[in-house]
Chain A
Amino acid sequence: MEQRPLAEAAGVGKYYGPTTALHDTNLTVVAGESHALVGRNGAGKSTLVSLLTGLQAPDAGEIRFDGESAPALADRDAWRTKVSCVYQKPTVVPELTVAENLFINRQPTGRARSINWRRMRADAAELLDAWDVHVDPDARTGDLTMEDRQLVEVARALSFGARFIILDEPTAQLDNREIDRLFARMRSLQEAGVTFLFISHHLQEVYEVCQTVTVLRDARWIITAPVAELPRPALVEAMAGDSAAAQTAVGGARTAVPEDTPVRLTVRALAGEGFDATGLAIRRGEVLGLAGSSGSGKIQFAETLAGMHRPASGDAELDGDPVPFGDVRAALDAGVGCVPRDRHHQGLVAGMTIGDNTTMTAMDRLGRYGFVRADRRRSMARALIDRLDIRTEGPDQLVSDLSGGNAQKVVMARALARDPRLLVLINPTAGVDVKSKESLLARIDTAREDGTAVLVVSDELEDLRRCDRVLVFFHGRITAEHPAGWHDHELIASIEGVDRV
């Protein structure tokens, strides 16, 4: 095969103020191959994709297609003929038919510029047929399976003339049979001259459909190699990097929880949406980490403990009392505090003050008969602001004025306001600067002193490193347990599911 570079990123970089999203990264995708792009969350994959698809311009380096410079950002039509990305989130209009989605805003017109429906249907059928996509052009797009929807998006991209398609975690929401079918389609499209950039969290898939792999880590390019020449351990090593020095420094400081410490939380055979038959126990003062890829069920499990969902079966006990499910108020009263997964979505009311937000879970403690005494709220909020080192003028400032790190501390304060016995932290340091991270995680370290049981659900290895144990979720079940002191590549291997193949 002729090694012609179809798409190239040459030394590209992207910076947001002091934050480096991507630095000096190279990617060369050869025509006719399937190229895998792997890396942990935050490694820079999304940034690279946004540069390759022309959503953003690189601050350094250059994007080239067929050896020519990329079109101007505003020239969307030109970009469409070069490259297209099929995202996890659908970019089709669910209420319109497949044919309408394929020809949206470029419908074939007849006399008086009115839409020629018959021709649009015929064109759509022809297009789908040409790429061997078996979907009815008259079907409502929202009724399609995830798999068919992705293929329709691929067909639409191809109809613009693009022969370079980026698939962003296309298998995340598919079951095994659907994945097999998708891979078969990818191979036949590849034979027809389509080039793929394949992004996946599941490394075995990389070996299945790709010929070349590029690894990013910490916003930097690490390696590009033929898949055949890069065995699994080497690939995991490339993703994890060598941070053994850092982990002994922190891991060594942690003393193990004594064996005779009473158990605080017991979960038995809990099953719910996305997870099944999950049992675990956390001792007083113990910090338990939960790892797993997105969609592994770890977040639903943690949210269930915090009272946000009702499980299908199973139970949990906190100090011998049953944990109430499906009722956040009752869970709070039972002594469960929670930092929800997304502070914008569930963590904060942006239009209210820091005082209001921090004390929202504990308003019943601020006065009698439900009245909130202003002085008590202020002093409680002040105490929390101090405890978490929130950089603010005072409790009367709006949370929308705060930086990400300080806003996240407000969410943490809200979880701590009732002095919980079980603290559930979901992505506690997502989108937070390094210094805020430290003060957020400091709370984990003090759990040992007051006997709080802490459950940390996170994608960040730094968060998990502080845990006494880390359990790994894979497809809704706990598949591995790592006591403190694990190596990055061990944990990543269990998260990606390559340790048991």
Chain B
Amino acid sequence: MSDTAASAHRRGPTQPQDGGPAPVPATGSSRPPGSRAALLRRARELALLPALLVLVVLGAFVNGSFLTEANIISILGSSAALAMVVLGEALVLITGKFDLSLESTVGIAPAFGALLVLPASESGFGLRWPFGLALIAILLIGAAIGAFNGFLVVRFRLNAFIVTLAMLIVLRGLLVGATQGKTLFGMPNAFFALATDTFLAVPMSVWLAAIAFLIAGYVLRHHRIGRSLYAIGGNVDAARAAGIRVDRITIGVYVAAGILASLGGLIQTGYVGAINANQGQNMIFTVFAAAVIGGISLDGGKGTMLGALTGVLLLGVVQNLLTLAQVPSFWIQAIYGAIILVALMIARLTTGKAQD
């Protein structure tokens, strides 16, 4: 049978906008129409928005100062660092891998930048680099850590979970060793500018995070590398058979995540006004919680930037509400953890699929 003969018995146009009745497949199987399934999928991406809205309304009732401009900006400002790291982790998770070491990168990258800037009298290396150079160094450190992780996972074929867990410990140890456990401060103002400078009353860190999410969201949807991440995370063998350079892209994702984490660390430094030797410590749990609540699958191949962002904001709002409600600080952790659990259960119910 030739192609022309095949088209003779071909059913009518398939495009939904033709408005014709949906053709029934010859096999007689009844499937939900594809366009409706696609819509449903989009709707699920927004599944967390109602929960976020409920929280906001609840917050407005509980505390009069919740919905003020200052408080909203404060929520955004305090979430910016987390947002950058969640963004990096989300990219790694979509590719079907893990990176636990990001929380240590959050500490070590800006800390080494600070050591390069600070005089020896303030525990620095005494090099007194200008901030511009230090900024490049900070990003390079993040990239190098990511490249090393990627190399071990991809080329060395080590398990991503355990490699990055080891890196988490090594990097934290390096930071504590290099700073002798001291807190670094006294850096030039430019070092804190991301968190202190504002544009339209909103901190630069928030703008940066917003732009990063926009770019990542666009690339994931409209660039071949972005689509490759989903293909690799969804079925690595099929991706390879389709000519996607799996190894190269996976290492690239680790590098991108490292850079994003180092930026997140710089934002965190600006927010706090100093670098503690434990900056970023235990942050990875919150990062994973935000990503998973936001619908990023730990099995890879699933999740969107919009989802990850709502996950971050949800946690930011909860944290803020707990502070406003003056919950005794000794109990905050338990309540925060419980809320994450509840959010996970809600996300599981609204997305209708097992969370993995």
Q: Given the interface contacts A329-B243, A352-B230, A360-B244, does A393 sit within 8 Å of B2 by beta carbon?
A: no
- Among B14, B239, B242: residue with most chain A CB under 10 A: B242
Report if A273 contacts B (CB, 8 A): no
Asked if A401 and B244 sit within 8 Å, CB to CB, the answer is no
Contact at B243–A396, with CB atoms within 8 Å? no
Contacts of A366 in B (CB 8 A): 224
Determine whether A364 belongs to the interface, using a CB cutoff of 8 Å to chain B: yes
Any B CB within 8 A of the CB of A280: no
Tell me the B216-246 residues at the A interface (CB within 8 Å): 222-225, 227-228, 230-231, 234-235, 237-245
Interface centre among B11, B31, B241 (most CB of A within 10 A): B241
Tell me if A338 counts as interface (CB < 8 A to partner B).
yes
Which residues 368-408 of A sit at the B interface, judged by CB distance below 8 A?
370-374, 382, 385-387, 389, 391-394, 396-398, 401, 403, 405-406
B302 at the interface (CB under 8 A from A): yes
A445 to B2, CA, bound (A): 6
Distance between A397 CB and nearest chain B CB, rounded to angstroms: 3
Secondary structure dominating the interface of A: helix
> Are B3's CB and A352's CB within 8 A?
no
Q: Flag the segment in A122-130, A226-234, A431-439 that touches B.
A: A431-439
Question: What is the bound-complex CA distance between A389 and B245, given in angstroms?
Answer: 30
CB-based contact A446/B227 at 8 Å: no
Across-interface contacts of A243 in B (CB, < 8 A): none
A385 proximity list for chain B (CB < 8 A): 14
In the complex the two chains form, is B243's CB within 8 Å of A328's CB? yes
A3 vs B242: C-alpha distance in the bound complex, in angstroms?
57
Interface size on B, residues (CB 8 A): 46
Give the docked Cα–Cα distance between A373 and B240 (Å): 22
Binds A, one of B18-26, B59-67, B97-105, B311-319: B18-26
Cβ contacts under 8 Å, A373 to chain B: 222
| Chain B, Cβ-Cβ closest to A387 | B3
Kindly state whether residue B88 has any CB partner on chain A within 8 Å. no
Q: How far is the CA of A374 from the CA of B33 in the complex (A)?
A: 21
- Residue positions of B touching A, CB distance < 8 A: 1-3, 5-7, 10-11, 14-16, 22-23, 25-27, 29, 31-35, 37-38, 41, 222-225, 227-228, 230-231, 234-235, 237-245, 301-302
Give 19 A-B contacts (CB < 8 Å), ordered by A residue: A306-B241, A307-B243, A346-B240, A349-B238, A360-B243, A361-B242, A370-B224, A371-B222, A386-B7, A389-B7, A389-B10, A394-B16, A394-B35, A397-B34, A401-B34, A401-B37, A403-B29, A441-B1, A446-B2
In the complex, besides A370-B225, A389-B7, A442-B2, 17 extra interface pairs with C-beta distance below 8 angstroms are A348-B235, A349-B230, A351-B302, A352-B230, A356-B230, A360-B238, A360-B239, A363-B228, A366-B224, A372-B227, A391-B11, A393-B34, A396-B35, A396-B38, A398-B34, A401-B32, A446-B3
